[in-house]
């Protein structure tokens, strides 16, 4: 009798995996990634000498508890070499922002920032707000911290320089001025109310102002107004007066920073309390304050402020050009490398400074104060949230406040455009990054919400169960699963969870009473009869908010899906008819129905439709037609 012995190689784990990677690790600059059991990225780091840096992880006794845990989960490593350490820093920041490794300091910023755009290649340039990638043939100023700040500035710029904000097609189709001209915010080039030369002068003045090249513009306009008044051109003098008022408002609104102190800079200050950080960023361009925004990066509680701030700066400028100066309130580690990386990112010299005295120090202290106040507000909100979660734990008999509450809901109309959704709540409030949409794939019988819920839960937990068995992503496992419904929904969902083998999750169903009155909800959970909470109980309000947020998300998801369906037509299924031909047909005939009813000759006369295409369209709508 022989015994089979498996000869499959044992995959190295932890320090052994790192030693295995070190065998081929180069001594050059680059970026390394530590990977978990399923290839998920645990950590991304950069180094001037990859081999020397990675070797430090093999000395486990010198590592913090967090890094020891990371090393123990490591199964393999990947590296990318670079020419310089600055290039490695840029690549590291890009990887961290894209991959969101759980052991890195993370800037969770999925927002694009608005800019002011002025088109270049046009007789009458358009000024407007722009988000996303820049397009050719336009100049940009910004970024601005929010849509509100850019809209305020744009309104004042229109009052001051009277530039059009309408699109080229809108401008070409106008026969008389729009409302903006009547309220003195546009010079109406669409109807020749201003010459090309005079409009070009306005556009030049706007460019100079936005670039900070003409600080004496108000005085020049004042002289023009006096000259117009002396020449008895009172309407022109009044128009210039309005422009001066707009310019004064623009300068007063944005001159929080002394232009002689800071002209083109981002002011970045960090404040830490109880292991949490807030970073406040002020955008200063041409001496004007383009707004500010608070960020709350995710990191371990023992991370110090300089390290958090340095990681934040690298990730913050991953998708936007840095200004010429960055003022900070900390002495940053590896300052030369970070400065070189930002210079490489911008294409011109960038300076990072920590002011110690004078007006620049006052500016950074102002940002620091804003960071502290924002963090204190967030901690106060978190304390209130913590009390609510403790109340939820007491109500449902949990050992600790829940870290993750998942709430589910469905939406459809007679079984069409059926969607299920999941919203997530926790210590930080609603975690919208964790929301999920489930387009129902199986056939849905109108009114059969049980079948929809079954499909949603199966898709949610099958992958999660496998990850949980392998020790993956425990933070994604819910403590409470909340559904909208009564005893029937509770029993059905309980059966699905039992079939899947989902354990360790408290299931709660929240149902309105017979009168459908908010505040008189009945709760169904395991081990106790249905119960109600006092109408003014804060925990009741919180659970209602979770349910209502799931309902809102389900409705908006369903409407978005239905809108996509409505814009489709039977023309989309005709071979050879793409978006351009579809648009041409609808513009010519008015509707898909009219295209279906059109004769062959009518189709041939439609713009953009040749004889062969017309025959293909006619044949599609008339299957028995032989083409004769």
What pLDDT digit, counting tens, does each position of 159-216 carry? 888 899 888 888 887 888 888 888 888 889 998 888 899 899 888 888 888 877 766 6
Residue 103 reports pLDDT greater than 80: yes
> What are the E-state strand segments in 10-59?
30-35, 41-47
What pLDDT, on the 0 to 100 scale, is given for residue 446?
A: 58
CB 500 within 8 A of CB 458: yes
What pLDDT, on the 0 to 100 scale, is given for residue 256?
A: 47
Q: Which of 55-59, 247-251, 453-457, 478-482 has the lowest mean pLDDT?
A: 247-251
Residue 507 reports pLDDT greater than 80: yes
Q: Which of 34-48, 212-226, 246-260 has the lowest mean pLDDT?
A: 246-260
CB 596 within 8 A of CB 619: no
What pLDDT, on the 0 to 100 scale, is given for residue 611?
A: 84
Residue 224 reports pLDDT greater than 50: yes
User: What is the average pLDDT across 63-83?
Assistant: 91
Instruction: Compute the C-alpha angle 505/531/480, nearest 5°.
Output: 15
CB 177 within 8 A of CB 193: yes
| The residue to which tokens 């012995």 are assigned | 5
What pLDDT, on the 0 to 100 scale, is given for residue 294?
A: 92
What pLDDT, on the 0 to 100 scale, is given for residue 227?
A: 76
% of the chain with per-residue pLDDT over 70: 88
What pLDDT, on the 0 to 100 scale, is given for residue 451?
A: 79
What pLDDT, on the 0 to 100 scale, is given for residue 501?
A: 86
* 518 or 290, greater pLDDT: 290
What whole-number distance in Å separates Cα of residue 201 and Cα of residue 586?
Answer: 42
User: What is the average pLDDT across 425-436?
Assistant: 88
The pTM for the full model equals 0.71
User: What is the average pLDDT across 610-624?
Assistant: 83
* 259 or 527, greater pLDDT: 527
What whole-number distance in Å separates Cα of residue 85 and Cα of residue 44?
Answer: 14
Using DSSP, state whether 440 is helix, strand or coil: coil
Residue 39 reports pLDDT greater than 60: yes
What pLDDT, on the 0 to 100 scale, is given for residue 2?
A: 38
What pLDDT digit, counting tens, does each position of 548-587 carry? 999 999 888 877 776 665 555 667 778 888 877 877 787 7
Residue 233 reports pLDDT greater than 80: no
CA trace torsion 61, 63, 65, 70 (10° rounding): -110
When the pLDDT of each residue in the chain is averaged and rounded to a whole number, the result is: 84
Residue 259 reports pLDDT greater than 60: no
């Amino acid at each position: 009798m022989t015994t089979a012995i498996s000869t499959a190689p044992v995959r190295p784990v932890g320090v052994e995996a790192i030693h295995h990677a070190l065998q081929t690790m180069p001594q050059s600059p680059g970026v390394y990634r530590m990977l978990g059991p399923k290839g998920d990225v645990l950590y991304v780091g950069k180094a001037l000498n990859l081999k020397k840096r990675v070797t430090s992880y093999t000395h486990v006794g010198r590592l913090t508890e967090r890094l020891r845990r990371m090393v123990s989960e490591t199964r393999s490593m990947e590296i990318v070499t670079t020419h310089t350490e600055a290039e490695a820093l840029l690549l590291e920041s890009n990887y961290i922002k894209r991959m969101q490794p759980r052991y890195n300091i993370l800037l969770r910023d999925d927002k694009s920032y608005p800019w002011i755009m002025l088109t270049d290649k046009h007789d009458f340039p358009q000024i407007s707000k722009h988000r996303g990638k820049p397009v050719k043939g336009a100049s940009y100023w910004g970024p601005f911290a929010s849509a509100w700040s850019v809209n305020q500035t744009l309104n004042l710029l229109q009052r001051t320089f009277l530039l059009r904000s309408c699109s080229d097609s809108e401008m070409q189709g106008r026969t008389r001025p729009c409302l903006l001209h009547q309220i003195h915010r546009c010079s109406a080039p669409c109807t020749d109310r201003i010459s090309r030369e005079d409009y070009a002068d306005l556009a030049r003045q706007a460019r100079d102002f936005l670039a900070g090249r003409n600080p004496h513009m108000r005085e020049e306009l004042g002289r023009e107004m006096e000259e117009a008044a002396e020449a008895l051109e009172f309407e022109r003098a009044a128009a210039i007066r309005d422009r001066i008022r707009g310019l004064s408002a623009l300068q007063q609104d944005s001159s929080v920073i002394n232009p002689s102190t800071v002209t083109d800079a981002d002011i970045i200050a960090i404040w830490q309390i109880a292991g949490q950080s807030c970073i406040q960023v002020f955008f200063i361009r041409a001496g004007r304050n383009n707004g500010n925004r608070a960020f709350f990066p995710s990191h371990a509680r023992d991370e110090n402020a300089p390290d958090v701030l340095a990681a934040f700066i690298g990730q913050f400028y991953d998708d936007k050009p840095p200004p010429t100066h960055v003022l900070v309130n900390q002495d940053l580690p590896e300052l030369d490398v970070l400065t070189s990386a930002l210079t490489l990112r911008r294409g011109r010299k960038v300076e990072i400074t920590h002011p110690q005295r004078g007006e620049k120090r006052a500016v950074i202290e102002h940002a620091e104060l804003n960071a502290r106040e924002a963090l204190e507000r967030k901690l106060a909100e978190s304390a209130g949230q913590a009390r609510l979660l403790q109340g939820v734990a007491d109500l449902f008999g949990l050992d600790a406040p829940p870290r993750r509450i998942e709430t589910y809901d469905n939406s459809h109309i007679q079984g069409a455009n059926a969607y299920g959704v999941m919203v997530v709540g926790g210590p930080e409030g609603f975690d919208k990054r964790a929301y999920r949409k489930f387009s129902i794939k199986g056939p849905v019988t109108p009114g059969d919400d049980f079948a929809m819920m079954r499909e949603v839960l199966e898709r949610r937990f099958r992958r999660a169960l496998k990850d949980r068995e392998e020790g993956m992503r425990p933070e994604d496992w819910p403590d409470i699963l909340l559904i909208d419904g009564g005893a029937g929904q509770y029993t059905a969902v309980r059966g699905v969870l039992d079939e899947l083998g989902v354990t360790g999750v408290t299931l709660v169903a929240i149902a309105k009473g017979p009168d459908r009155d908010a505040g008189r909800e009945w709760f169904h959970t395991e081990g106790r009869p249905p119960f109600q909470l006092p109408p003014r109980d804060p925990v009741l309000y919180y659970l209602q908010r979770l349910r209502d947020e799931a309902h809102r998300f389900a409705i908006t998801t369903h409407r978005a899906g239905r809108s996509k369906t409505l814009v489709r037509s039977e023309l989309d299924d005709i071979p050879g008819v793409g978006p351009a031909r579809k648009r041409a047909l609808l513009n010519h005939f008015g509707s898909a129905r009219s295209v279906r009813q059109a004769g062959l000759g009518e189709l041939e006369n439609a713009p953009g439709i040749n004889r062969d295409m017309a025959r293909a369209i006619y044949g599609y709508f008339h299957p028995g037609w032989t083409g004769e």
